[in-house]
Chain A
Amino acid sequence: DSGVTQTPKHLITATGQRVTLRCSPRSGDLSVYWYQQSLDQGLQFLIQYYNGEERAKGNILERFSAQQFPDLHSELNLSSLELGDSALYFCASSSRTGTGYTGELFFGEGSRLTVL
């Protein structure tokens, strides 16, 4: 158990709909990362938050948005869903950035989104 909690584990919805994925980081971790993993592909970085502020942006579509709340949990909002958005969405957390940070991430079990 990594200590990172993601809900829901599975989600089936239709094209054009909007969904929200939720992530609770490990206790004490300030950074939250979101990744997308399509079938048989590696991890695509979407976005990172640190203590409520957006820190880095990857290949995140304009239809997607995220935020990190004061209690440090994060939500990833996916709207106007398309078939190609079907994927596993992972949240990861880390304890720090800056000097001494060596990049370790702790991943949740993921949310599997199926768009029909």
Chain B
Amino acid sequence: TQLLEQSPQFLSIQEGENLTVYCNSSSVFSSLQWYRQEPGEGPVLLVTVVTGGEVKKLKRLTFQFGDARKDSSLHITAAQPGDTGLYLCAGLTGFQKLVFGTGTRLLVSP
């Protein structure tokens, strides 16, 4: 069974701080997505990474796919209250199965 472990599970920070969320597995994924879910809403796709070592930037968010395609990280610079939410990574296996991570709940206080 493929598992995607995210760390930390919870993160409470002040506006302006930087943070990194990790998504780790012992399995190889052909691609990996990051989603953000706000309370009472469905997850929204932020980014897809497909190449080992790939780095993508989305404004203050930087996503990296590990060289071996087993892990990923999400770095947020100068966090804002609007970044608050549940961050989920999801990996696509070679069998076309999508595996979701355990989630990281982020709270950014003004």
Contacts and interface: CB of A to CB of B under 8 A. Distances in A.
B93 to A, nearest CB: 9
B97 interface: yes
A interface bracket (residues with beta carbon within 8 Å of B) = 20 to 34
The A interface, classified by DSSP as helix, strand, loop or mixed, is: loop
B interface bracket (residues with beta carbon within 8 Å of A) = 20 to 34
A92 B31 CA distance: 18
Contacts of B48: 102-104
Contact of B33 (A2, A42, A104, A109): A104
A98 interface: yes
B96 A110 contact: no
B13 interface: no
A36 B73 CA distance: 25
Interface string A17-54: 00000000000000001000000111101000000000
A4 B43 CA distance: 12
A112 to B, nearest CB: 8
Contacts of A92: 42
Contacts of B92: 101-103
A103 B102 contact: no
A40 B25 CA distance: 21
A43 B33 contact: no
A15 to B, nearest CB: 24
Interface of B: 30-33, 35, 40-45, 48, 50, 88, 90-92, 96-98, 100-103, 105
Interface of A: 2, 4, 33, 40-43, 45, 56, 90, 92, 97-98, 101-110, 112
